[in-house]
Structure 1
Amino acid sequence: MRISTSQMFNQSINSVLDKQTSTSKILDQLSSGKRVNTAGDDPVAAVGIDNLNQQNALVDQFMKNIDYAKNRLGLSESKLGTAETLVASTREQVIRAINGGLSSSERQMIADELRGTLEELLAVANTKDESGNYIFGGNETGKQPFAFDNAGNIVYSGDSGARDSIIASGVVVETNIAGDKAFMNAPSGLGDYSANYLASQVGDFSVDSAKITNPATYVEDTYTFTMVGANLEVRDSSSALVTTEVGFDPANPVSFNGMEVKLDGLPEAGDSFSIAPQSEVSILDTINQAIALIEDPNKVNTPQGVSELAQILNNIDSGVNQISIARSETGNSLKSLESYSTQHVEEKVVNSSTLSMLEDLDYASAITEFEKQQLALNAVSSVFSKVGSVSLFDYI
């Protein structure tokens, strides 16, 4: 078989170019430290590498979301802890103020202390994060959530919204506690109602609880209780008689219209009080009520004042419990974040190990292969140089 000069030349050139390409590929691998730089290097491994890189990118995003959630929940947990301490201290201040041996000036000092505590609590409830957003405003992070209205009551301008953060596939965690959940909507200390006592009260008694026991027969209304001799009459808002407890014994609850009311102590004949629906109370308003009670000389240490005090203390206890529950929720969320963070770190370690197996270069093998390709390239180049310089005239 005869081979033309041009065919021989092309074959030699192709051989040189092939060896140069192989050498260049190994040089790229040595430079990058990766065995697979393009899908063409190893199509099967390239698919696995792409999937692992996507998983790692997703894990990185989850970790960023977790860091964000940790910062928000950590700040909320800290502030709720401060609020819990402040509210718990108000109970002691209120009890100290209702002391018959205190002068009016001493009681005023305690009222001023309570007012300072209330201002501190309000400042906590209006806490901003590092971006200037109110952390207890729900989704209304741009405006102050708590403020006094014209009547001196504290109103909430936020909402009940929760801001979610995705921390794992299909796993969402709330990164905030809404202000109404933490400070406004504590269960009433009496149950489902609040009590209103009169200045004419003589007996040493208070409402211990007022709860709905049978929703099917429950009739919502404002009810008035009056002690008529030894009997306790209950009337609705239209003054219609609902029930009469003959020979009333405070050891037994009063049941009517699907609800149950229990008294602590026995009213005197002629004593009257009313209850109105109120299933939730605000700890901020409760402290306001305590201040008003302490500053009112016509109520302090009177039967009416003592009864109102009992209700205030119950509501303070409920407020402390509400804040504690909110704080506990943030603590549980932080614990969950730590758990998922650990899982993500472990997942990334496994992914990175697998990636290393698929794409990292074995330098010893690569250098050996590089030397072989260099030797082959030099040999092909040398042969091509010699063959290319051969002429028929050298043999004539």
Structure 2
Amino acid sequence: MRISTTQYFGMNVQTMDDQQATLAQLYQQLSSGVSLATPSDNPVGAAQAVQLSMQGTTLSQYSSNQNTALSSLQAEDSSLSSISSVLTSINTQIVHAGDGSLNDANRSAIATELQALRNQLMGLANGTDASGNYLYGGYQASTPPFSVGTSGAVQYSGDNGVQYVQVTSSRSIAVADTGKAVFLSSSQPGSSSVAAGALSNAGTGAIGGVTVNNSTDPTNNHQFTINFTSGTTFTVTDVATNTTSAPQTYTAGQPIVLGGGGQSVTISGAPSGGDSFSVTPAGQASDVFANLDSVIAALQTPATGATGQANLTNALGTALTQLQNTLNNVTTIQTSVGGREQEIEALQTVTQSNSLQTQSNLADLTQTNLTKVISQYTMTQYSLQAAQQGFSMIQKLSLFDYIGN
């Protein structure tokens, strides 16, 4: 194949141009620290870089969500600890109120203490997080969830909405619990049915706690009333089914079987005809504010004679059972909150590791490897210099250089 002088010169010039372009590209990488300035530099790498960049952005958002969720849960955890402390103080006061040596004035003072603790509990129920959002308002996070109505009773104006935060591509975590769940509900496991005596009772009957004989009996979730037709006879009514038993003979301290036999209760003292008692499932008597109002009213009522003492005993026993159910409910929710906190902390570790790996992979694709590029730059520079020197020598040669010889 015959190569003309023009072709030869053109090939050499093109080679040197290419080397100079390569040097310019390598110099740009060295000066900017970026090895992938345009997609044309590395089309495959550019596509991978786009994917890694999107993945990094997503992981960054999940990390931000995790921080937000953890902050909210930590605020609720702290609030629930304070609520438990107040409820424990209330329990101590109610137990103290049962001291037989106290008089009406002493019990009235305890009622005043309970009123202050009730107000403190309501303040916690209207607590906010670091952003000023109400912890227990559900979706109504901008308005106080609890308020005092015209009757003096506490009302819940929040909703049942549970706020979730997306913390990974496949996991959303509840970052709050509603006021209804915390203050107006009762966790079934560990809670007890609530026994109570009517405030209008004229006898000296005092009802004890509920004994569970069969925890699987479906009637345990029914409400029952025990109505004394005389001082010696009573009937048991299942409110859920509206069925009443045949009259039964009353013996003080003897268990009274409820429903299908899953529960029983004892009554001591001497009830009068017309007196009534009730057994209510924990979930139906779980408004902590209403329960506090009831025991405060009972302590403010003079305990006159044996009947007054019996009614006070019933009120205090009822209040203690209700309060224990509330404490159990708060503890259950706080345990759940703690579990969610631990899960987020574990996810934070995984997300941070994935984010660092993504950043490393993206850097490998887009950032200049100084050792490698400097080596390439030096080699290309030497090659260009050699080509330039060789071409300079060759272009001086001609046929006339040989004629004289």
2:25 paired residue number: 25
Q: Give the aligned residue type for 1:268.
A: A
The alignment yields a C-alpha RMSD, in angstroms, of 3.7
DSSP 3-state at the match of 2:40:
coil
Aligned equivalent of 1:85: 85
For each residue in 1:274-297, what CA deviation from the matched residue of structure 2 results, as whole angstroms up to 9, or x when unmatched?
437663311122222221111111
Moved more, 278-287 or 148-157: 278-287
Q: Give the Cα separation in 2 of the matches to 1:156 and 1:224.
A: 32
**Structure 1 stretch 330-339 or stretch 270-279: which is displaced more?**
270-279
User: How many Å apart are 1:115 and its aligned residue?
Assistant: 1.3
2:393, 2:13 → 1: CA distance? Answer: 13
Other structure's SS at 1:208 match: strand
Is 1:326 matched with 2:333? yes
Aligned to 1:310: 317
Q: Return the offset for 1:377.
A: 3.9
Query: What is the CA–CA distance in structure 1 between the aligned matches of 2:110 and 2:220, rounded to whole Å?
Result: 41
Paired amino acid for 1:349: L
The one-letter code matched in structure 2 to 1:313 is L
CA contact (8 A) 1:213 1:259 kept: no
Contact 1:224/1:236, CA 8 A, preserved across alignment: no
Residue 276 of structure 2 is matched in structure 1 by: 273
Q: Which runs of 5+ in 2 are unaligned?
A: none
Q: Distance in 2 between matches of 1:207 and 1:368?
A: 87
Report the CA distance between 1:303 and its aligned residue.
0.3
Q: For structure 1, which runs of at least 5 residues remain unmatched after alignment? A: none
User: How far apart are residue 196 of structure 1 and its match?
Assistant: 2.9
Cα deviation for residue 88 of structure 1 reads 1.0
Conserved? CA contact 1:227–1:269, under 8 Å = no
Tell me what 1:292 maps to.
Answer: 297
Is the Cα–Cα contact under 8 Å of residues 206 and 265 in structure 1 kept in the other structure? yes
Q: Which residue of structure 1 aligns with residue 145 of structure 2?
A: 145
TM-score scaled by structure 1?
0.84
1:135 aligned onto 2:100: no
**Deviation of residue 181 (structure 1)?**
0.6
Report the alpha carbon displacement of residue 249 of structure 1 after superposing the two structures with TM. 6.6
> Given the two structures, how large is their TM-score scaled by the length of structure 2?
0.82
Query: Which deviates more, 202-211 or 67-76?
Result: 202-211
Aligned match for 1:203, one of 202, 205, 208:
205
2:193 is matched with which residue? 191
Would the aligned equivalents of 2:225 and 2:279 in 1 still touch at CA under 8 Å? yes
1:221-300 matched pairs, under 5 angstroms: 223-226=225-228, 228-234=230-236, 242-246=245-249, 248=251, 250-256=253-259, 262-271=264-273, 272-275=275-278, 279-280=283-284, 281-298=286-303
Greater shift in the superposed pair: 269-278 or 304-313: 269-278
Q: Which of the numbers 333, 350, 356 marks the counterpart of 1:349?
A: 356
Q: 8 Å contact 1:111–1:294 — kept in the other structure?
A: yes
Query: Aligned AA for 1:244?
Result: P
Specify whether residues 219 and 108 from structure 1 end up closer, same or farther in structure 2 by C-alpha distance, changes over 3 A only. Answer: closer
Q: Secondary structure at the match of 1:228?
A: coil
